[in-house]
Structure 1
Amino acid sequence: MGSLPTESLSVEEHQQQQVEMDDTSRTERARWLLNSPDPPSIWHELAGSIREAFVPRNKLSSSSRVKQTWRRSAFSFLRGLFPILNWGRNYKASKFKSDLMAGLTLASLSIPQSIGYANLAKLDPQYGLYTSVIPPLIYALMGSSREIAIGPVAVVSMLLSALMQNVQDPAADPVAYRKLVFTVTFFAGVFQSVFGLFRLGFLVDFLSHAAIVGFMAGAAIVIGLQQLKGLLGISHFTNKTDVVSVLGSVFSSLHHSYWYPLNFVLGCSFLIFLLIARFIGRRNKKLFWLPAIAPLLSVILSTLIVYLTKADKHGVKIVKHIKGGLNPSSAHQLQLTGPHLGQTAKIGLISAVVALTEAIAVGRSFASIKGYHLDGNKEMVAMGFMNIVGSLTSCYVATGSFSRTAVNFSAGCQTVVSNIVMAITVLLSLELFTSLLYYTPIAILASIILSALPGLIDINEAINIYKVDKLDFLACIGAFLGVLFASVEIGLLAAVTISFAKILLNAVRPGIELQGRLPRTDTYGDISQFPMAIKTPGILTIRINSALFCFANANFIRERIMRWVTEEQDELEETTKRTIQAVIIDMSNSMNIDTSGILVLEELHKKLASNGIELVMASPRWQVIHKLKSAKLLDRIGKGCVYLSVAEAMEACLTSKFAALSNC
């Protein structure tokens, strides 16, 4: 009997030692957080971003940096800037055969489309052809996509004409208008380059996928309605882009007989031919070349018809003179001073974002099919440089075209050499064949543009967006209706505003959830999502589901936490006559915090402490712990309130709770 107290005492001592060891381990792991090095400064991250944009990552290891000579470092930089230096060394003749055929097929589609898109941008036809020469060559040197086809596109062409007409009327002074377009192209290239150099690709994402779907569909309809001018041979047409103004102008012209039926007959005949060719190409993949070559055949046949029948004498409108030859320099035409500088810069920014969004979406779509990754920031740099050079060589904003990229892919391209072949072919056409296009009817260019528009309208994707996310669908519809019934700017503004509103709604009212321990695990989950989760009496566990704990949501978080504390306190007092001992805040989802968030944490600590409740923080991220230390908040509330995980915080709270009970 006398040995029992001794055994009991030894067991108690053993338990006490175990508790002390656990406390020591938790304290040590908490120090990993508290003593972690300071995160890199914003300037350090900026310099790293620029370096990563050009220097391959495998060249940035510490051992390599020590051993690399200046020459090898320079070569690594050049390989990052010009990807062609990487894959060009292993380029084989078998690949060139595929790229040659793809490039020639691409050129047959690009030549008539480029002329039509230049007309859509209110520029002379040769500027569309110029834009299919220099930008593809620059992209071939700097771009990382193997399939993307570079040149003018319908949406950007329409965007430029719609926005630029408010600055300069192309009909009143085409030379001044053209100079401003080159200036816009220069600014677009500068913005694109800056986005890529400073890893600002997220700015492009402000135009969400849903917004782009709606914008593209609205733009396709507007572009299609504007082609009625060429399809009907209308002389007087509105400069506005909204559907009401365009249809009003069409009906007015029809009513007063300001149109010529021969244009309509010729255009519709070849439009039917183009649509049939597209249908056959989709049904039979081996005939992919038919829809690709159909536009060029249409141009050749319609030009012959007009020339042989003298249809231009009977009201059929024709292209007339197209200036041939190499791209002339336009560096002296850039308007970098003057009253329109701010407006051209703004239009350049809008064009840059829209062009990048389309190009990166197209490039990533086909890259995923081929199974390789496309670096968005490098793409931005490549697009930027090609548009800067393009602005100096009589080109307007170029980007990746979905329809031409699909043709390039179907034709079996292996690398961007297909773009080089296409550019050389267009250049030869400028040198040799532009005089043959004098009698090309405008109606054919309109029918070519109309035949390419169905690919921009994705009804199935809009339905899918509606099923998945109603707020995303609202952005989609906002962009669509804005472009259709107001203007391009209004459509873009509506899309961005709704997308921003969605972001702000999530930021201002973030998800804040009560957590419980999942049975037979150390994992804590939302009790609403996991009804089987077990709540610990006297300890409230809360997770903040917001990447940024900031001024926008700090007060909302404080009020929600205090409300839950009050509700839990009342419930405990009614059922168990106990009180809340601690509140654990899981900060694993909060990537950063600002001064407002720090102030709210301090206020929470004071309010809870006045009621005898301990505030505990679990899993704060690197930037958060750094700012808490910089603000000396941990010195004021105690460094013992920070733990590596919710499980450890809970264990520490339970240990202190039982210790308090045993002391009582």
Structure 2
Amino acid sequence: MSHRVADALGYKDMDNISAASSRHNSENLPYVHKVGVPPKQNLLKEIAGTLKETFFADDPLRQFKDQPRSRKLVLVFQALFPIFEWGRNYSLSKFKGDLIAGLTIASLCIPQDIGYAKLANLDPQYGLYSSFVPPLIYAFMGSSRDIAIGPVAVVSLLLGTLLQNEIDPSENPVDYLRLAFTATFFAGITQFTLGFFRLGFLIDFLSHAAIVGFMAGAAITIALQQLKGLLGIKKFTKKTDIVSVMRSVWSAAHHGWNWETILIGMSFLAFLLVAKYIQGKKKKKLFWVPAIAPLISVVLSTFFVYITRADKHGVQIVKHIRRGINPSSLNEIFFSGEYLAKGFRIGVLAGMIALTEAVAIGRTFASMKDYQLDGNKEMVALGTMNVVGSMTSCYVATGSFSRSAVNYMAGCNTAVSNIVMSSVVLLTLELITPLFKYTPNAILASIIISAVISLVDIEAMTLIWKVDKFDFVACMGAFFGVVFSSVEIGLLIAVSISFAKILLQVTRPRTAVLGKIPRTTVYRNILQYPAATKVPGILIVRVDSAIYFSNSNYVKERILRWLADEEEQLKESSRPGVQYLIVEMSPVTDIDTSGIHAMEELFRSLEKRDVKLVLANPGPAVVDKLHASKFHEMIGEDRIFLTVEDAIVTCAPKMDLEP
């Protein structure tokens, strides 16, 4: 055997290989590869390597290597503001696509923003403000080409619910608005901090199933909240759970419903749903139909109310929307006092939800167009835009799925579509806002209902049920928590179940008994492969997880239970007992001191049963720790093998292995 092969197998001593090879050849046995020991690592290097893999897995500094100082400064500037990197290759043809996309999403965002501001219990202009400044900042700092920035329904509802728990917006509107700006400021700080310190992996702890359930529950809650505007109810509950909302709706049935409002709202809701249906049938070709349908609804309903003066007959209207661009709100933020801590708590929660939604949307469209999305850059961009937004009368903005989908289908090429949208919102604030005076609230309710319906993803829920029942429990827990309690309770349930799943998988890892696939040297789970047969006198168990303090006792006890079950079956059939127990350790990526201690206890328990412990294919980290703890001396150097087949050949050289 060559030294190169020896190095590949992890051997340090060529003479040992030759001796081992000669011994096996003289005994007419297949050559058995021994498991090599990786070189010792310096503690600081090991810690540095772990930290690098955790926080800098994408190696963000690789582009700066071997670059002159001036070039490094340019690269740093481009890293902070990606627009100056892709902007060098920007062309008129790309601008045409961005212009059409920007105008299209602007027609969608303007009526949505007015409605979403009401979800947050804010005046309509604050929704428009939040689609002016944040998209401009994101266009310069964001790395997604497709995401459309602005207020979104879920975050607006969450923010409105949490804020009104602290301050009544009708009794103290000034402090309520200030607390909203404070929460937005801390939402931005949270997002920026996660991106700057590369802690974005934390949002991955909220599972996909929990997000699906949370979004669906929030969509139902938002839709129920719109019954106030859709039915023309004046006195409505401030609670968001379905029981309180339906009680409020039915209690107003005798005197609080307005038939003119219902007629307007239901008619245009049907129009919006038909527009969505048409686009769904024709796919990308008619993307503009549901995009401009909300604006058409606003224009037609406003004109209808104005000429009929339906507002005199109980139809509630938007009334005044302040004209002009965003005023400064820096002095409105609570940097001290009793509301500082409350704003911080609300901001962190809203910021995390907004971040989760934006990153999920960005990744979805990035994969569709086959480009890489830098998650940490996204967080820094989102955080910066919300910090600046809090100082310019905006509340929490993030990526909107409905607008991003329209942006994508309209043919956007870059983030310039956000600049176009922002410019249209600017013109709206300066010139058009007085025209919204007679816009009926029922239309805004219809627009919001039609927008959030898509958040109830029945197909995704069905798939979750088919794939993983525990995931489905997490999904339904989040869903029912939001619908029957509150948004924050639903979120808490979603996070709790996600963590419970992680803990369950860590503390109770899977194990399996392996058998040999006929006419091969492959060993697989006997439950998955019925043709796999057990080797007489040998029990092969695979552990499908790292062995840590949290699961080491369970792994030891589970292996002993497998052994007890096997010996009981052998005893009943009057066959010889187990002589060797082989632990297949290829899935065991790591082991700690508690794991080593559990393996020592397992070894001693097997000794009492006159069963020999054998290890197969331990990874480098495991082998290193087995040697550091001297466990290899306890078990014996000749009991650690590269493969299960090698272990079988050595443990039972005279046995006919072919079934």
Tell me, what secondary structure is at the counterpart of 1:266?
A: helix
Distance 1:608 1:283, change over 3 A: closer
1:519 CA drift (Å): 3.0
Aligned equivalents of 2:21 and 2:494: distance in 1?
Answer: 66
Aligned equivalents of 1:431 and 1:145: distance in 2?
Answer: 29
Aligned equivalents of 1:103 and 1:599: distance in 2?
Answer: 62
Deviations 1:181-204 (A, max 9, x none): 222223322333343344444432
Distance 1:631 1:135, change over 3 A: farther
1:8 aligned residue = none
Aligned equivalents of 1:96 and 1:634: distance in 2?
Answer: 66
1:145 CA drift (Å): 2.1
- How many residues of Structure 1 are paired with residues of Structure 2 in the alignment? 635
Paired residues of 1:131 and 1:396 also in contact (CA < 8 A): yes
Aligned equivalents of 1:646 and 1:92: distance in 2?
Answer: 60
Aligned equivalents of 1:401 and 1:300: distance in 2?
Answer: 23
Tell me, what secondary structure is at the counterpart of 1:31?
A: coil
Letter in 1 for 2:138: Y
1:37 CA drift (Å): 7.1
2:605 aligned residue = 607
1:639 CA drift (Å): 5.2
- 1:619 pairs with 2:626: no
**Matches for 1:506-517 after TM superposition, within 5 Å:** 506-517=505-516
- 1:437 pairs with 2:442: no
1:115 CA drift (Å): 0.9
> Which among 555, 564, 569 is matched to residue 557 of structure 1?
555
2:129 aligned residue = 130
**Matches for 1:42-121 after TM superposition, within 5 Å:** 42=47, 44-46=49-51, 55=60, 57=62, 59=63, 65=65, 67-121=66-120
Letter in 1 for 2:33: R
Give the structure-2-normalised TM-score.
0.87
1:103 CA drift (Å): 0.3
1:514 CA drift (Å): 1.4
Aligned equivalents of 1:14 and 1:371: distance in 2?
Answer: 50
Tell me, what secondary structure is at the counterpart of 1:419?
A: helix
Aligned equivalents of 2:276 and 2:573: distance in 1?
Answer: 73
Tell me, what secondary structure is at the counterpart of 2:203?
A: helix
1:429 CA drift (Å): 1.5
Paired residues of 2:25 and 2:31 also in contact (CA < 8 A): no
Q: Bigger CA drift: 286-295 or 627-636?
A: 627-636
Aligned equivalents of 1:39 and 1:583: distance in 2?
Answer: 37
- Return 5+ residue gaps in structure 1 as ranges: 1-12, 659-664
Distance 1:89 1:578, change over 3 A: same
> Which among 30, 33, 46 is matched to residue 26 of structure 1?
33
Paired residues of 1:54 and 1:78 also in contact (CA < 8 A): no
Letter in 2 for 1:436: L
1:367 CA drift (Å): 2.6
- 1:589 pairs with 2:590: no
1:121 CA drift (Å): 0.7
Tell me, what secondary structure is at the counterpart of 1:270?
A: helix
Q: Bigger CA drift: 201-210 or 227-236?
A: 201-210
Q: Bigger CA drift: 468-477 or 169-178?
A: 468-477
2:449 aligned residue = 450
**Matches for 1:260-409 after TM superposition, within 5 Å:** 260-284=258-282, 285-409=284-408
1:208 CA drift (Å): 2.4
1:130 CA drift (Å): 1.4
Tell me, what secondary structure is at the counterpart of 1:615?
A: strand
Paired residues of 1:54 and 1:80 also in contact (CA < 8 A): no
1:226 aligned residue = 225
Q: Bigger CA drift: 335-344 or 103-112?
A: 335-344
Distance 1:307 1:579, change over 3 A: closer
Aligned equivalents of 1:566 and 1:19: distance in 2?
Answer: 38
Distance 1:338 1:53, change over 3 A: farther
Aligned equivalents of 1:485 and 1:469: distance in 2?
Answer: 24
1:33 CA drift (Å): 3.6
Paired residues of 2:183 and 2:347 also in contact (CA < 8 A): yes
Aligned equivalents of 2:569 and 2:226: distance in 1?
Answer: 69
Distance 1:613 1:320, change over 3 A: same
Aligned equivalents of 1:132 and 1:139: distance in 2?
Answer: 11
Letter in 2 for 1:590: V
Distance 1:574 1:259, change over 3 A: closer
1:502 aligned residue = 501
Paired residues of 1:112 and 1:295 also in contact (CA < 8 A): yes
Letter in 2 for 1:509: R
Paired residues of 2:37 and 2:624 also in contact (CA < 8 A): no
Letter in 1 for 2:514: Q
Deviations 1:608-631 (A, max 9, x none): 344444433333334434444555
Tell me, what secondary structure is at the counterpart of 2:139?
A: helix
Distance 1:463 1:77, change over 3 A: same
Letter in 2 for 1:486: S
Aligned equivalents of 1:429 and 1:45: distance in 2?
Answer: 51
Paired residues of 2:241 and 2:483 also in contact (CA < 8 A): yes
Aligned equivalents of 2:355 and 2:400: distance in 1?
Answer: 11
1:654 CA drift (Å): 4.3
Letter in 1 for 2:507: V
Aligned equivalents of 1:550 and 1:609: distance in 2?
Answer: 23
Tell me, what secondary structure is at the counterpart of 1:433?
A: helix
1:598 aligned residue = 596
1:53 CA drift (Å): 6.4
Deviations 1:494-520 (A, max 9, x none): 333333333333333221111233333
Distance 1:238 1:576, change over 3 A: closer
1:344 CA drift (Å): 3.5
2:487 aligned residue = 488
Distance 1:392 1:47, change over 3 A: farther
Tell me, what secondary structure is at the counterpart of 2:273?
A: helix
Paired residues of 1:33 and 1:644 also in contact (CA < 8 A): no
2:8 aligned residue = none
Aligned equivalents of 1:50 and 1:545: distance in 2?
Answer: 26
Tell me, what secondary structure is at the counterpart of 1:530?
A: coil
Deviations 1:424-457 (A, max 9, x none): 2112211222223223222221121122122122
1:5 aligned residue = none
Q: Bigger CA drift: 502-511 or 230-239?
A: 502-511
Q: Bigger CA drift: 310-319 or 401-410?
A: 310-319
1:94 CA drift (Å): 0.3
1:110 CA drift (Å): 0.7
Tell me, what secondary structure is at the counterpart of 1:122?
A: coil
| Identity rate, percent | 55
Paired residues of 2:217 and 2:483 also in contact (CA < 8 A): yes
1:241 CA drift (Å): 0.1
Give the structure-1-normalised TM-score.
0.87
Distance 1:389 1:577, change over 3 A: same
